[in-house]
Amino acid sequence: MALANQTYALMIPPLSLMGVGCSNDVPTHAKGLGATHALLVTDKYLNKIGLADKIKTQLVDAGIKVTIFDGAEPNPKDTNVAEGLKIYKENKCDGIVTLGGGSSHDCGKGIGIVATNGGNIRDYNGFGKVPKAMPPLLAINTTAGTGSEQSGGAVITNTETHVKMALIDQHIVPNVAVNDPLLMVGMPPALTAATGMDALTHAVESYVALFVNPVTECMSLKAVQLIAKYLRPAVANGEDLVARDKMAYAEYLAGVPMCNAGLGLVHGMAHQLGGFYDLPHGVCNAILLPVVSEFNLIAAPERFAEIAVALGEDITGLSTVEAGRKGIAAIRGLSKDIGIPASLAELKGVKESDFEILATNALKDTCTAFNPRKATLNQVVQLYKDAMGAPLAKAAAR
């Protein structure tokens, strides 16, 4: 799928910490980046259970002042960014540490963008619109799915339009990405499942995206292999450190291609569901992934066949298209096994009467531009309708 005569730039953190206990090294690297007063951006749950205080204590013991901002909401909003920025300025912070999943990281990135560039976070929607680097940012992951801890992307909901803005720029790549599986042990099964399918969506979409290249394609495929093997065990037993560790690597491997090869229509459509109905991003991706993959199959049959093999499917004797379809069926089977809802109809608030405006906005989404097959408004509306049905039942009936 790589475009002819295309040049590529790889956005990746200068430093990534991986493995059990690696979060203990955060204070050393925060000091090395020159931070003297960090804004710790997290959510209310992680603050309530004491994990934010644990990170704060480590930083304070290293001589770094810390102010906690726990206003990062699921599907973070422009209002969360504005509130966090106010606290950042009031406390004269000079660095940011984010703790959590994509919501915390994206909110922290939004704060950092406006802190150094001014204006409103809405000014930076799109690709390559952030002229200056953020303050030092260390992103500590507690989920294995979003990839935001190491990506040059952030997704923020515009509260006026209820549209998710996708910001992509080299200047918002965190300085340090931290994936410590010890911090993921307490993640509940439903969140493990949703974030794991988010990672799978990153891997699959980036493998068939228009800007795929040799660096990203090997990462995407390896991520699919790891997720196929370790997501079920991670959902079944959250204290399985081997599964947690492998899923941390999987989400990282899937996350690098996200902003370097591009994603596609799954994310373009899922962003609208999250912004319009405030639904969990990973669940929306999981439901839409097989539906949109079927639509994209004719544009990249060989790549979907390779995805089938990475998922552990035997494609002996099958045509390329048949092999690709078997891979898509395997995605549905994985979703079913880990308890993902079978259709959009099972999600709160979703209505067919909204599909045209959702489809209109999906076609404008930054991620959609990288999809391997161009879609019309009517086709996207139909894809939403297909996802509103019972895709698992349809797959079983084939």
pLDDT averaged per 10 residues in sequence order, the chain, 398 residues: 66 94 96 97 95 97 97 94 97 97 95 97 93 96 92 92 89 96 93 96 97 94 98 96 97 93 96 93 96 98 98 97 97 97 95 96 95 97 91 38
Q: What tokens appear for 9 in the block?
A: 């730039």
pLDDT of residue 1: 53
Helix (H) or strand (E) holding 82: helix 78-90
What is the spatial distance between Cα 157 and Cα 278, in angstroms, rounded to a whole number? Answer: 9
pLDDT at position 397, please?
34
- What are residue 16's DSSP bridge partners? 177
End-to-end CA distance of the chain: 28
Give me the amino acid identity at 48. Answer: K
pLDDT of residue 276: 92
Residue whose C-alpha is closest to residue 241's, from 288, 187, 191: 187
In the structure encoding, which two tokens stand for residue 269, read together? 């459509």
Q: Which domains does the chain have, with CATH numbers?
A: 15-184 (3.40.50.1970), 189-397 (1.20.1090.10)
353, exposed or middle or buried, with CB in 10 Å at 0-12, 13-18, 19+? exposed
Note the pLDDT of residue 395.
39
Q: Which residues of 51-72 are buried (b: 16+ CB within 10 A; e: fewer)?
A: bbbebbebbeeeebbbbbbbbb
CA separation for the pair 242, 144 (Å, rounded) = 13
Sheet holding 163-168, edge to edge: 126-127, 163-168, 153-158
On whether the CB atoms of residues 107 and 115 are closer than 8 A, the answer is: no
Q: Residue 10 has what pLDDT?
A: 85
CA pair distance 162, 179, nearest whole angstrom: 31
Cβ atoms of residues 204 and 189 within 8 Å: no
- Separation of alpha carbons 215 and 234, rounded Å: 27
**How are beta strands 95-100 and 137-141 bridged, if at all?**
parallel
Predicted local distance difference test score (pLDDT) of residue 310: 98
What is d(CA 7, CA 1) in angstroms, rounded to the nearest whole number? 14
Q: For residue 392, what pLDDT is reported?
A: 41
Please state, for a pLDDT cut of 70, what percent of the chain lies above it. 96
Written as one string, the DSSP assignment of 236-265 is: H-TT-HHHHHHHHHHHHHHHHHHHHT---H
